Structure 1
Amino acid sequence: MSDLVAIVYPSLEKAEAVRQEFLTLQKEYLISLDDAVIAVKTEDGKVKLHQMVNTTATGAASGSFWGLLVGMVFLMPVVGVVIGAASGALGGLLADFGINDKFMKDLSESLQPGNAALFLLIRSMTADKVLEEIQGYGGVVLKTSLDNDKETALRNALAGHAHVDAPVAPPAPSV
C-alpha cells in the first residue's frame, strides 16, 4: 500500500527543487514513487497541477503510432496518424493515474496564492536515509497517511532538526 504526503512550499520553484531531490533519491533506489505532483494556487485563486507525466502528450504519441500502423493496413497512413493522435490525446487527457486530481485541487484550495503543495505517493522508502537527504528543505506538512511516528520524523527532517528519530538496534550482549 502506498503512502500519501503533501508538503506546502512558498513557491513553485522551491516545490520543484524538492520534487527533483525526491526523483534523484528514486534513481538511487532509496524511495519508490508512484506519483509526484505539484499544485500551485495562482494569484486569481485557481489551482494548477504540474504533473510528473503529461498524459495528453503520451496518449497522442502512442495514438499516432497505432494510428499509423492501422492506416498502413488500409493504405491511408496520414489519416491513421491524425485519427490516432486525436483519440490518443483525448484518452490521455481523460486518464488519471496516481493521486486523484480532484483530491489535490480540493486540498490545495486552502493554500495562499503563490504557494505550492508537493504531493507524493510513496510506494516504499528507506525512511532514515530519505529523511536525512531532505533535512532542512523546509516546508509544512499539509496532509499525510503516515503513522504518527513517521509523520513526526518527517516534520522534524523538514524543519532541519539534526536528530531524526529512527529505530536503533539494541546493543549486543557483552561476552
Structure 2
Amino acid sequence: MSDLIVIVYPTEAKAEEVRERLFDLQKQYLIKISDAVIATKNEAGKIKLNQLLNTTVAGAVSGSFWGLLIGVLFLNPLLGVAVGTASGALGGALSDFGINDAFMKELSGSLQPDNAALFVLVQEMTADKVLKEISGFGGVVLKTSLDETKEQVLREALQKASATAAS
C-alpha cells in the first residue's frame, strides 16, 4: 500500500529541488516513488500541475507508432499515423496514473499564490534516512496518509528546519 505525503514550499523551485533529491534517494534504493507532482497556484488563482509524465503526449507517440505500423500493412501509412496519433492522445488524456488530478487541484486550492505543494506517492521508504535528507529543505506538511506517529515525526523535522532557516 502506498502513502501520500503533501508538503508545501514557498516556491516552485524549492519543491522541484526536493523532488529531485527524492529521485536521487530512489536511485540509492532508500525510497520507491509511484508519483511525484508539484502543484502551484498563481495570483489569479489558477492551479497548475507539473507532472512527471504527460499521458496525452505519451499516448500520442505510442499511437502514432502503432498507427504507422498498421497503416503500412494496409498500404496507407499517413492515415494510419493520423488515426493512431489521435486515438493514442485520446487514450492518454483519459488515463490517469498515480495521484488523482482532481484531488490535487482541490487540495491545492488552499495554497497561497506562488507557493508550491509537492505531492508524493510513496510505495516504500527507509523513513529515518529519507527524513534526514529532506528535512533541511523545510516546508509545511499539508496532508499525509501516514499513521499519526510518523506524521508527527515528519512535521517536527520540517518545523525545525523552517525555524532554523528563519533565524
* TM-score, length of structure 2 as denominator length: 0.93
- Aligned residue for 2:165? none
Question: For structure 2, which runs of at least 5 residues remain unmatched after alignment?
Answer: 162-167
* TM-score, length of structure 1 as denominator length: 0.89
| In 1, Cα distance between equivalents of 2:16 and 2:71 | 41
| Residue 138 (str. 1) matches residue 138 (str. 2) | yes
| Residue 124 (str. 1) matches residue 124 (str. 2) | yes
| Residue 46 (str. 1) matches residue 71 (str. 2) | no
| In 2, Cα distance between equivalents of 1:159 and 1:81 | 53
The CA deviation at 1:87 is 1.2
- Aligned residue for 1:92? 92
* SS of match in other structure, 1:136: helix
- Aligned residue for 1:165? none
Question: For structure 1, which runs of at least 5 residues remain unmatched after alignment?
Answer: 162-175
| Residue 29 (str. 1) matches residue 29 (str. 2) | yes
The CA deviation at 1:70 is 0.7
- Aligned residue for 1:168? none
The CA deviation at 1:160 is 4.2
| In 2, Cα distance between equivalents of 1:99 and 1:16 | 17
Bigger share in helix: 2
The CA deviation at 1:158 is 2.1
| In 1, Cα distance between equivalents of 2:137 and 2:18 | 7
Q: Deviations over 1:56-90 (max 9, x none)?
A: 11111100111011101101112111111111111
Off by >4 Å, runs of 4+ in structure 1: none
| In 2, Cα distance between equivalents of 1:153 and 1:65 | 48
| In 2, Cα distance between equivalents of 1:130 and 1:124 | 11
Say how many residue pairs are matched.
161
The CA deviation at 1:133 is 1.0
Let me know the Cα RMSD of the aligned residues: 1.1
Percent of matched pairs sharing the same residue: 66
Q: Deviations over 1:75-132 (max 9, x none)?
A: 1112111111111111111211100100000000001111110000000101111111
Q: Which amino acid aligns with 1:123?
A: Q
Higher mean C-alpha displacement, 138-147 vs 90-99 = 90-99
| In 2, Cα distance between equivalents of 1:82 and 1:17 | 39
Q: Between Structure 1 and Structure 2, whose CA radius of gyration is higher?
A: 1
The CA deviation at 1:153 is 1.6
- Aligned residue for 1:15? 15
- Aligned residue for 1:66? 66
| In 2, Cα distance between equivalents of 1:159 and 1:24 | 23
- Aligned residue for 1:154? 154
Q: Which amino acid aligns with 1:128?
A: D
